[in-house]
Structure 1
Amino acid sequence: MQTWEYSTVPLLIHATKAILDQWGADGWELVTVLPNPTGEQHVAYLKRPKA
């Protein structure tokens, strides 16, 4: 059975693409983006298969 590891990443509005591109290059898949509870920035939720 496939197992996953997960990460949450704050997204800076001026660098969103660069942040997601870097995590994607490291094998992470974007699951969703939700507002931070404080409303100041968004948070990306990512997953990748465990080795």
Structure 2
Amino acid sequence: MPESSRRSWEYATVPLLVHATKQILDTWGEDGWELVQVVPGPNNPEQLVAYLKREKSA
């Protein structure tokens, strides 16, 4: 793939509060972030962590 057509991504991990999950994800989504996965937190399985990505601006 030519260098000029490669896509670059940036990533974020975001803790999710159970009572505000939709609001948190909607806020990140408005900023162009796409949800990749939600997993249990490393120290507390009841705490969820969202992994998000978005394309880097040129």
- The interval holding the TM-score normalised by the smaller chain is over 0.9
Count of aligned residue pairs for this structure pair: 51
Bigger fraction of residues in strand: 1
How high is the TM-score relative to the length of structure 2?
Answer: 0.85
How high is the TM-score relative to the length of structure 1?
Answer: 0.96
Residue ranges of structure 2 left out of the alignment (5+ in a row): 1-5
Q: Structure 1 vs Structure 2: percent identity of aligned residues?
A: 69
Q: Which runs of 4+ in 1 moved over 6 A?
A: none
Bigger radius of gyration among the two: 2
Residue ranges of structure 1 left out of the alignment (5+ in a row): none
Higher relative contact order (CA 8 A, sep 6+): 1
Q: CA RMSD in A?
A: 0.6
Distance 1:43 1:11 in 2: 6
